[in-house]
Amino acid sequence: MAAKPPAVMMAAPKLRLASDAWMQPARRQQSLLSLTTLELLNTEADLSDIGWDGPQLDTLWRYNQHYFDDLNAFDSAKRTVWQRPLLKDWVDRNPPGAGVGWAPYPTSLRIVNWIKWALAGNHLDRTLLNSLATQARWLSQRLEWHLLGNHLFANAKALIFAGLFFESEETNGWRNKGFEILFRETSEQILADGGQFELSPMYHAIAFEDVLDLINLAQHYAPALLPAETELVSTWRALAAKMGHWLSAMSHPDGAISFFNDSAFGIAPSNEELFAYARRLLINEPAPLLQVTRLRESGYARLSQPDAVLIADVGAVGPDYLPGHAHADTLSFEASLFGQRLFVNSGTSLYGTGPERQRQRGTAAHNTVVVGGVNSSDVWSGFRVGARASPFGVRWHSDGDALELEGSHDGYRSLASAPTHTRKWRLAPRALCVADHVRSGAHIAEARFHLHPDVLISLYSPNSGKFVLKSGERIAWRSEGGPARIERTTWHPEFGKSIDNTCLVVPLHQGRSALEVSWA
């Protein structure tokens, strides 16, 4: 493989004149706590102790350290007295091409954050502008074609930002390369139902922000766009409305995302920030959610009654060639009652290749059925998937006031007798029933129902009991199958965070089980 060219360090091109106002982007939480203190992924560290590189913290934390998200976070303007020295320190201590901060992904996010900060009215001096141009040149030779997905999208976005922020023949080349990638990748990565194709609500929210940022930038530099680029931007506006609809459908009544595949709070901006950003850009409001909202291309469905919302995974784990953020969660679901989360998948608190990463990706960490003690899809290493569950027989219909959804998968076909799992959800105005059937084989099978940490559970008998929500509502439950039991487990709503919770386990008897939850 030919060596990549070294960093090209020369004066930055002139800045391009803008034609329209720059809209305030979506904001993240503050991460810069003092001149040298950062809190990222729920871990606080001081630059004087850890520097910009090194083994003290894992690669994901180091990546986030080099993003400079705080430049565009809440109340960022109050921290410029810290941010300016931090920018200069980064340039001084991160020579071109050296260290994790120059990997293509953090370079892409940093380029965008520096430019958004400048477009918000903050001055980048000549040293910072020269560094920014060097970073763009470096990135343009190191696009992540080997990773594709959200990484390549972020690379292209950064090239467009730098290519429009600066003005020269060279920077037009960056811009053209970025648009060339997104002409193809937008239709590849954003499905017809509006979902980002890696099927993670968290990564979808990041992609939604990316599209909104690109619309904002295109408006700011509208006269500089070529006709084909202007046409692409017009499609992004319609696409953004569909992406907003998908995000709404995959979120709970509390206004935050559900946890399917790699998902956690605090990585993407909140839904509230994203929807406010879309309104500032005059994006059409998302289509209203129906009692049954089927996201067909993504493989998700949402059922809603006046007091209850259920979100179910009845689709593939992700694109065949890019399942890195997939979990073995086929036919899992989450549910809220009275606006509060009741059943939750276990979330994501870390990346890497260790046993805890494996456990969080495993079937047992989700609200679905484990057969033979194995995962329904062969998740391995940190971002690998071998054999995958294939869903089939998905259908939904109404039965009077009740909504029914059913689906099956073949993820246990490697076991003796190749058992299949079929699940049927029935959501009525005052009850939810989840019925499971595992066909063929004599394997031990268990349905697992993870409860939000705020939910209390009690057993009245081996097959009945109650849940108590934080606000005091009492929810009766009863099960069919083997004797139910309660296990202690953990919920991971953010990276770097683990919260104790409980899991109701219902063994299947003769291949069948059911859990019915009812409320007054």
Q: What is the DSSP string of 62-94?
A: HHHHTT-GGGGSTTGGGGHHHHHHHHHHHHHHS
Q: Is the pLDDT of residue 324 over 90?
A: no
Quote the CA–CA distance of 475 and 169 in Å, as a whole number. Answer: 66
pLDDT of res. 7: 64
Predicted confidence (pLDDT) per residue in 404-459, tens digit: 999 999 999 999 999 999 999 999 999 999 999 999 877 999 999 999 999 999 99
How large is the C-alpha radius of gyration of the chain? 24
Q: φ, ψ for residue 38 (rounded to 5)?
A: -120, 140
pLDDT of res. 431: 98
Predicted confidence (pLDDT) per residue in 468-497, tens digit: 999 999 999 999 999 999 999 999 999 999
- Specify the DSSP element, H or E, that contains 50: helix 47-50
Pair of tokens at residue 356: 């805890």
Predicted confidence (pLDDT) per residue in 383-396, tens digit: 899 999 999 999 99
Average pLDDT over residues 487-513: 97
Pair of tokens at residue 62: 């180091």
Q: Is the pLDDT of residue 15 over 70?
A: yes
What contacts 303, CB < 8 A, 6 or more positions away?
291, 292, 309, 310, 312, 396, 403, 405, 425, 427
**What percent of the chain has a predicted confidence (pLDDT) above 90?**
93
pLDDT of res. 440: 80
Task: Judge whether 425 and 303 are in contact, CB under 8 Å.
Answer: yes
Average pLDDT over residues 55-60: 95
Residue ranges of domains in the chain, CATH in brackets: 292-518 (2.70.98.70)
CA dihedral angle for residue 477, residue 482, residue 488, residue 494, rounded to 10 degrees: -70
Average pLDDT over residues 310-327: 93
Q: Which long-range contacts (CB under 8 A, 24 or more apart) does 373-380 make?
A: 373/444, 374/412, 374/414, 374/415, 375/328, 375/411, 376/328, 376/329, 376/330, 376/331, 376/409, 376/411, 376/412, 376/421, 377/317, 377/326, 377/327, 377/328, 377/330, 377/411, 378/328, 379/326, 379/327, 379/328
Residue pointed to by tokens 């919302």: 309
Quote the CA–CA distance of 246 and 252 in Å, as a whole number. Answer: 12
pLDDT of res. 3: 62
CA 9 to chain centre: 35
Quote the CA–CA distance of 178 and 181 in Å, as a whole number. Answer: 5
Residue 287 confidence class, pLDDT cut points 50, 70, 90: confident
3-state SS, one letter per residue, for 183-235 = HHHHHHHECCCCCECCCCHHHHHHHHHHHHHHHHHHHHCHHHCCHHHHHHHHH
Quote the CA–CA distance of 267 and 206 in Å, as a whole number. Answer: 8
Average pLDDT over residues 309-336: 95
Q: Is the pLDDT of residue 1 over 50?
A: no
Task: Judge whether 189 and 243 are in contact, CB under 8 Å.
Answer: no
What contacts 113, CB < 8 A, 6 or more positions away?
67, 68, 69, 71, 72
Amino acid in position 401: D
Q: Is the pLDDT of residue 9 over 80?
A: no
Average pLDDT over residues 128-142: 97
Average pLDDT over residues 375-389: 93
Residue pointed to by tokens 């950003």: 277
Q: Is the pLDDT of residue 378 over 70?
A: yes
Strand partners, 437: 422, 512
pLDDT of res. 170: 97
Residue 154 confidence class, pLDDT cut points 50, 70, 90: very high
Give me the half-sphere count of Cα atoms (radius 13 Å) on the Cβ side of residue 480. Answer: 11
Closest residue by Cα to residue 469 from 335, 348, 306: 335
Quote the CA–CA distance of 342 and 336 in Å, as a whole number. Answer: 5
pLDDT of res. 253: 98
Average pLDDT over residues 275-301: 96
Q: φ, ψ for residue 489 (rounded to 5)?
A: -145, -165
Task: Judge whether 313 and 259 are in contact, CB under 8 Å.
Answer: no
> pTM of this prediction?
0.96
Determine how many CB atoms are found less than 10 A away from the CB of residue 155: 26
Quote the CA–CA distance of 462 and 504 in Å, as a whole number. Answer: 11
- Specify the DSSP element, H or E, that contains 506: strand 499-507
Residue 203 confidence class, pLDDT cut points 50, 70, 90: very high
Residue 246 confidence class, pLDDT cut points 50, 70, 90: very high
Pair of tokens at residue 22: 């720059």
Mean pLDDT of the chain: 96
